[in-house]
Amino acid sequence: MTSTASPLLGLVRQLSVAHHIPGRIRLKMRENLPHELIAEAKKFGQALGGVEGIRSVGVNPLARSCTIEYDARAIPPSAWSGFLSGEATPESEILRRRLLDAAHA
């Protein structure tokens, strides 16, 4: 894991699922982000936007939310819960690996 990916994946621990249907997920940040982490939230959105299978990402740090539209054939819907909780499942590893690849690009 690179130093670029590490803060991005650390930010994931602040997220929970607010709403999810296959192909679209809305995440909420559990706590208000300190001002200096708002830039990390924007980087997270940019990194997600580069992930294969992600169609669009909308990040609103002030509202503490992130909406992601994705291809459910490329990223299994079950990948999100494992990815956000840190649980290493085959599905969550697909998403984690794609995020790391995007962070390296």
- The phi and psi torsions of 42 (rounded to 5 degrees) equal -65, -40
**Under DSSP, is residue 32 helix (H, G, I), strand (E, B) or coil?**
coil
Neighbouring residues of 15: CB distance < 8 A, sequence distance ≥ 6: 27, 28, 29, 30, 66, 84
Q: C-alpha 69: how far from its chain's center?
A: 11
- CATH fold group of domain 5-104: Gyrase A; domain 2 (3.30.1360)
Q: What is the pLDDT along the chain (105 residues), one digit of tens a residue?
A: 344 445 555 677 778 899 999 999 999 987 766 666 667 667 777 777 778 899 998 878 778 888 999 999 999 999 999 888 888 899 999 888 888 777 666
What is the predicted pLDDT for the residue at 54?
92
